[in-house]
Amino acid sequence: MKTVIELKNMRFFAHHGVFSQETVVGNEFMVNLHIEADLTEACKTDNIEHTINYASVYEVVKSEMQKPSRLMENAAYRIMERIKASFPQIVHLEVRIAKMNPPVGGEVERSEISLSC
């Protein structure tokens, strides 16, 4: 049985960016996760030990977002690797990171990358 868990619009202030000003000033980022896993046992037992704990997932994302990266791709990769390692029942994971108001020389709401495995 496939279960889908999504954590949407997690907001973080972080210092990711290629330009030196971005690493000093920082910016707001949004992180979204799409997790697919076989959580049949959790469905049957109603036991948190058999599921993917959202609070634990959030703490992984928060921890990785606090570590500066030049590229959002690097932050997303680190998030993905740690979540996969922590929850082996995951069969598909998508990590999306958006930088709000990116410094591109014009008005842009966000730039966004997505990694999945």
The domains of the chain are located at: 2-116
State yes or no: pLDDT of 105 exceeds 90. no
Is 62 designated active site? no
pLDDT tens sequence across 55-73: 999 999 999 999 999 999 9
* Whether domain 2-116 has CATH 3.30.1130.10: yes
Mean pLDDT of 24-44: 93
Catalytic residue among 44, 62, 67, 99: 99
Residues whose CB is less than 8 angstroms from the CB of residue 87 and which lie 6 or more positions away in sequence, other chains included: 35, 37, 52, 57
Its pTM stands at: 0.91
State yes or no: pLDDT of 4 exceeds 80. yes
Q: Say how many Å lie between the first and final Cα of the chain, rounded.
A: 19
